[in-house]
Amino acid sequence: MGKRTEGSSLLHRTRSDPAAFWTAISSIAACVAALFAGWAALETRNAAVEANKATRASVWLQVLGEYASPEMLASMKELRAWQQQRPKGFAETFKNLLKNAGRSDQEEKLANNLDLDRRRVSHFFHKLEALCEGGVLDEEFVEKEWSYSTYTFISDVIIPMEKAKAEALVETQSMTEEERLAGNRMMDAELEFYRRISRRAFFAYTTSAVESKDASAEEFGLPSP
């Protein structure tokens, strides 16, 4: 009873005191505004998260589409065939072919085709690494699509040809030694990225293979180009 009387007295004083009344109204309005602001901020954040997911999905689909293109497959097959035909000296042969100023028409066509294939494949895998390192794509996505066969292709074919191209440019004075060394560091970082990806994918594969007796080695990664 005492508390009710005290509350009624407080209400009476508030109503009879215009300053106190409007202060109370202002406080209530401020609380309501804060609630609406918080709700708006939450909605904005949710919208940003959804937009980010949509952007990532769009980029991921573009990456998969580019990798699945006939041009990419043809380039990877041509580079692998070039490497397998001369496994010990293919990079040196490629460098000498690029350096040769007196190439025949056939050698000119071969050099241009190999360089185009190298550039297409190299730029794709460099872009994929950059998207992951920049946080646009999750490495977990890459692990599911590219695995150990990708790492060996990059390390055995792409990186040697990239370095051979850089050496040819240095020897023909089209690139400085400092630029070549900087490029080598970038290539080493890229190779480490794919080594890390393939290692995690390998562990995931071996774990699932143990759990499933029907698992086949052919299921590991995409077919080698």
pLDDT digit string (tens) for the chain, length 225 residues: 555 555 555 555 555 666 666 676 677 766 766 676 665 555 556 555 566 678 788 888 899 999 999 999 999 999 999 999 998 899 999 999 999 989 999 999 999 999 999 999 999 999 999 999 888 988 887 887 777 788 899 999 999 999 999 999 999 999 999 999 999 999 999 999 998 888 776 555 444 444 444 444 333 334 344
Contact between 118 and 128 under an 8 Å Cβ cutoff? The reply is: no
Whole-number pLDDT of residue 56? 83
Q: Are 159 and 125 in contact (CB under 8 A)?
A: no
| pLDDT at residue 78 in the model | 95
How many helices, marked H, and strands, marked E, lie in the chain? 9, 0
- Among candidates 151, 91, 86, 89, which has minimal Cα distance to 115? 91
Whether 73 and 42 map to the same domain: the answer is no
195 and 89 housed in the same domain: yes
Residue 63 lies in a domain: no
* Whether residue 79 is found in the same domain as residue 178: yes
Q: What is the per-residue pLDDT for 199?
A: 79
Are residue 130 and residue 74 in the same domain, yes or no? Answer: yes
Both 126 and 190 in one domain: the answer is yes
What CA–CA distance (Å, rounded) separates 92 from 95?
5
Both 135 and 176 in a single domain? Answer: yes
Is residue 32 domain-resident?
Answer: yes
DSSP-derived 3-state class of residue 1:
coil
Asked if residue 122 belongs to a domain, the reply is: yes
Residue 76 lies in a domain: yes
Name the domain count of the chain: 2
Six-digit token pair at 42? 């939450």
Q: Are 82 and 4 within one domain?
A: no
Same domain, 76 and 167: yes
Same domain, 9 and 75: no
Dihedral sign (CA 60, 140, 76, 187): positive
Q: Please identify, among 33, 58, 83, the residue that sits at the C-terminal boundary of a domain.
A: 58
Same domain, yes or no: 35 and 121 = no
Asked if residue 215 and residue 144 are part of one domain, the reply reads yes
- Predicted local distance difference test score (pLDDT) of residue 187: 93
Q: Looking at the structure, tell me whether residues 158 and 133 fall in a common domain.
A: yes
* pLDDT reported for residue 57: 84
Parent domain of 2: 1-58
Residue 64 in domain: no
